[in-house]
Structure 1
């Protein structure tokens, strides 16, 4: 079914009603403009040199991605159906490249943040709602590991985990990554590359092992494992079927996403129309009394919200302190492991990153999210505006709708906060590298084992203290930033609600001067438009859309 055109038309109709009555339609227009570009992400993840890029080239049947790369030249790349355009996102801005230049050479993660490839291809056209994301290996840098979750998770349908047949193990960074995916109930497909290096029995054993390992971590028995060889000639069709299946699911995801947006976008128009119809027969003096009621109601709400905000701010600070203590405790518990890794010359950044993310994740889930949910629910109850036939609640919460906005806001907290923490921790990697470098030089010149161990333990403690300090600063900053964003949205929505109620009363005053016959026609038009709005309000309310393919129209 062509759901894109169907929903685009609904939003166009909504915008026409908003424009007719002078209701702000800016957000509706932005939704209309973005519908044709709807895609879901399918990130391809794994360790460096597992054959991810070769696999993607094999699926598409074109040599779009460079396979001769190093950790320094591995740049995140998005591939999707389009008009043969290539965009290179550099530190200075966006550079448009030619398709004929593919695969791009000489890129580095220091100068290029992202590459986007729009490519006209038969198979990509089959999966035109899917955005394949080739992410650099997790062992390239912990910043890229974090991006795989924080940047792409919110709009992803599934992840493809690529494992090389000559190393069918799950390193700690991959295991921790899978644990994070499990929190969001995100499906994972496993792809074994370079499978031609194993005989039939070895490959069967390898598939069974990875199915068991991944399934245990994500707690699913239905983890699918497929194979390709170095050149993509083995079971490539099976891998394509996975992507086709993901494409089929995009219809359901699209409808659920845009039906929610449609329902949410109708709220102010519904308030306005309900008020215009309900108070059409009031006298001017009665309307002025209603105006005073609105003013008093909004002032009372504003004062109550301020009290609630102050109370939540105190609770949030307690959460922050608890999370800090958890991070410090968890880092200190890994001191023996970090010491051993330093002594062996191993890279400790992945280990540190895993510990920090796990601590923050558990802290946010157990300490911050429950309090955040209660706060949003209290605010939602507080700013309920009673109307004749229904209750309209600011911030897209309505008792008659199944949308649980408090739940949605709560679920978005973790990836947003973790993204900020990960970004702020990036400079710490340089500090860790400096400490490790100095320690390596020092212990190289020490022959006494006890003295060497003291130096290693001293360095490990220094690393832990520095990371704990920086993480504590960043976690407080990011949580407060997230709360500030929520509060600004609440204030904005209260002002919108107040403005729309005042506008409806003002327009009713104008109606009073109109002849009664003309006024009847206006009320009839208002009622007709309200009926349209109500159908939008109930759009896909049961979220019972089956998996259908989204048809993106040319």
Structure 2
């Protein structure tokens, strides 16, 4: 466990009796304690391994485990994501799309008898592999091939991006290059500022010189797609159990996952403790309030809360007013992308191929660009203005600071002078910032899911239209195959241009409008609930203080002694937590 992780587990065992002494305290998230305990015991950072189908991802995971577990004899349609992590006791489970968990056997996994987990399910595999014992917080995720179906790309981003520090892009030495679909999919990681490391698999199939050449080509392609170089390039051979370089990359991620824990778990835990401290401080009556001043303080809290509610509503309207501009940019971007790909789409239609994946990919790329950048910036500004408007008497005091006596350590990867630590720190900070925003990744996933429905609906209507009214070719070109092909192509292009593309743009834009509007309302509601909980907690403390003033001096003295003892304990825990967090970062 990380130092802060161990500390939270220890504090959590001693905290319930202290909390029980203050029934009037109302945390904004009522499940915060249970969530902190769960995370302290089972914190994992996913490391999705992505690549083309048959790139060797499953064999690579098996080599890391030192034993065959995942089936490598699968088809693109039957692959299920597998989350693999370390544990002292083996646990093999599958989770269906509706959340039902099923115990599995090794034989069933190796035989790939996993159809009930298709379409949204996942394998949750905890193993005792020695190679993973030094990586207790890493969760390797063997993803379906990104070129196997529409959902594989979406799942890799929507399910794992909020917590992932980096993605591993697996390319076999025999392939020697990124598939076009993988290069396109990498744009999602670029939008979300997710770094990658490159894994060259099946190196036994090439000479060392050829492997080096492949590594340079793939690194260049990744840099071209992402705008930044991979932070490491590792060479592996599952057949020869050569995974040392991969384990080195995972060790970097294991080390940096401490910072992610501090941001995702440690800081929220400390914020809840700080809210409790504010509650007890009122009870301790450091301001020496009497009955009259208590009533005045209650009235001030109510007035401040009403002003804050009005400010949130006003800022939410301001954010709502920006949605039409975001939608216009999305419409323009998607229309330009589809129109620019018109020839390819028309040729696929004439060949009888499914155009849905290509159209959905274009829609998703536009969604990611608009939502993760433009809408996220608007949301960030909105939250900043709302935070500034939060009344001081409803804001817990700042977390304690700890002197910074250490300087950040330096680390460089094996992939050509990249500052690995710097890259991963940026990724960690980005993930934490996304969490603070409520993360726009789920918004992208929801909007993309709605866009799929729009694309499929428009595609069915387009196909039905072609069936009822096929392309008409004039008698003048019937006997000229080249002219006939050109005429059919132009007719299909016109149908796409005047019917299909406008319908896709209109329907997916409407879906996006609904999702963004709902997101604004959700954030507004959450802000209101958080402020209301803090208000209720402060008012309950004032009521308890008023009741205390009516008691005897001896009773008040005993209560005050308990308050001071609890405050001293909470302050000490806060200092320890802040020190542990600082030590993890440095």
Q: If the length of structure 2 is used for normalisation, what is the TM-score?
A: 0.82
2:442 is the alignment partner of 1:416: yes
Hey, what does 1:328 align to over in structure 2? Answer: 335
Q: How big is each residue's C-alpha offset from its partner over 1:16-61, in whole Å with a ceiling of 9 and x where there is no partner? A: 4322211246422332133211111010100111111111111111
**Structure 2: which 5+ runs fail to align?**
403-428
Displacement after TM superposition at 1:277 (Å):
2.5
Contact 1:436 1:459 in 2 (8 A): no
Tell me which residue corresponds to 1:364.
371
Match 1:449 to one of 468, 485, 489: 485
User: Take 1:101 and 1:339, find their aligned partners in 2: how far apart are those partners?
Assistant: 43
Residue 80 (structure 1) aligns with: 85
Is structure 2 residue 25 aligned with structure 1 residue 55?
no
Q: Secondary structure at the match of 1:386?
A: helix
* 1:156 aligned to which of 142, 155, 164: 164
Residue equivalent to 2:22:
21
- For 1:443 and 1:118, the matched residues in 2 are separated by 56
Native 8 Å contact 2:170 2:198 kept in 1: yes
Matches within 5 A, 1:290-439: 290-343=297-350, 348-386=355-393, 392=396, 407-408=433-434, 412-428=438-454, 430-431=456-457, 434=460, 435=462
User: Residues 490 and 409 of structure 1: is their aligned pair in 2 closer, same or farther, counting only changes over 3 Å?
Assistant: same
State the match for 1:469 in structure 2.
Answer: 506
2:407 aligned residue: none
Change (3 A) 1:250 1:17: same
CA distance in 1, matches of 2:135, 2:146: 26
Distance change >3 Å, CA 444–CA 345, structure 1 → 2: farther
Q: Does 1:198 align with 2:224?
A: no
- CA separation of 1:111/1:408 partners in 2, compared to 1, >3 Å: closer, same or farther? closer
Q: Identify the match of residue 123 of structure 1 among 115, 128, 131.
A: 131
Give, in whole Å, the separation in 1 of the partners of 2:338 and 2:329.
14
- Given that 2:166 and 2:194 are in contact with CA atoms closer than 8 Å, whether structure 1 keeps it comes out as yes
Quote the Cα distance in structure 2 between the aligned partners of 1:382 and 1:189.
Answer: 42
CA distance in 1: counterparts of 2:119 and 2:442, whole angstroms: 25
CA contact (8 A) 1:168 1:206 kept: yes
RMSD over aligned Cα atoms: 3.3
Do the aligned partners of 1:255 and 1:545 also contact (CA within 8 Å) in 2?
no
Aligned to 2:196: 188
Report deviation, 1:67.
1.1
Question: By how many angstroms is 1:90 displaced?
Answer: 2.8
Contact 1:46/1:161, CA 8 A, preserved across alignment: yes
Residue 45 of structure 2 contacts residue 139 of structure 2 at CA under 8 Å; is this kept in 1? yes
2:55 is aligned with 1:39: no
Residue 139 of structure 1 corresponds to 147
Structure 1 residue 543: deviation in Å? 5.8
Task: Note the C-alpha offset of 1:110.
Answer: 4.7
Alignment partner, residue 545 of structure 1: 583
Q: Per the alignment, in what secondary structure is the counterpart of residue 540 of structure 1?
A: helix
Q: Deviations over 1:290-340 (max 9, x none)?
A: 222222222232233323322322233443343333333333333233224
Distance 1:437 1:300 in 2: 56
Distance 1:30 1:16, change over 3 A: farther
Query: Among 517, 526, 547, which residue is 1:510 paired with?
Result: 547
Compare 370-379 and 10-19 and name the one that shifted more.
10-19
In 2, the alpha carbon distance for the partners of 1:345 and 1:77 equals 34
Q: CA deviation at 1:537?
A: 5.0
Residue-by-residue CA offset, 1:410-455 (whole Å, 9 max, x unaligned):
7554312211122223345645765569869967998512331134
User: Per the alignment, do residues 374 and 161 of structure 1 end up closer, same or farther by CA in structure 2, a change over 3 Å counting?
Assistant: same
Asked whether the equivalents of residues 369 and 410 of structure 1 are also in contact (C-alpha less than 8 Å), the reply is no
The separation in 2 between residues aligned to 1:342 and 1:411, in whole angstroms, is 41
Change (3 A) 1:193 1:436: farther
CA gap of 1:365–1:2, structure 2 versus 1, over 3 A, is closer
Q: Distance in 2 between matches of 1:161 and 1:495?
A: 45
Change (3 A) 1:281 1:433: closer
Are the aligned partners of 1:41 and 1:152 in contact in 2 as well (CA < 8 Å)?
Answer: yes
Equivalent pair of 1:127/1:244 in contact (CA under 8 Å):
yes
The number of residues matched between the two structures is 540
For 2:46 and 2:471, locate their aligned partners in 1 and report how far apart those are by CA, in whole Å: 46
* 1:480 is the counterpart of 2:509: no
1:406 deviation in Å? 11
Q: Does the C-alpha gap of structure 1 residues 275 and 44 become closer, same or farther in structure 2, counting only changes over 3 Å?
A: same
For the structure 1 residues 409 and 249, does the alpha-carbon distance in structure 2 shift closer, same or farther, using more than 3 Å as the test? closer
Q: 1:198 to 1:444 in 2, by over 3 A?
A: farther
Q: Which residue of 2 aligns with 1:173?
A: 181
Q: TM-score, normalised by structure 1?
A: 0.87
Q: Work out which of the residue numbers 526, 529, 543 in structure 2 matches 1:492.
A: 529
Return the alpha-carbon distance in structure 2 between the equivalents of residues 304 and 508 of structure 1.
30
Deviation at 1:126, TM superposition (A): 2.5
Note closer, same or farther for the CA distance 1:186–1:525 as it changes in structure 2 (3 Å cut): same
d(CA) in 1 for partners of 2:209, 2:532: 67
**Structure 1 residues 401 and 499: CA distance shift in structure 2, 3 A:** farther
CA apart distance, 1:221:
4.3
Structure 2 counterpart SS, 1:42: strand
Relative distance call for 1:207 and 1:321 in structure 2 (3 A) is closer
Structure 1 portions without partners, runs of 5+: 549-554
Partner of 1:552: none
Structure 2 vs 1, CA of residues 421 and 270 (structure 1 numbering), >3 Å: closer, same or farther? same
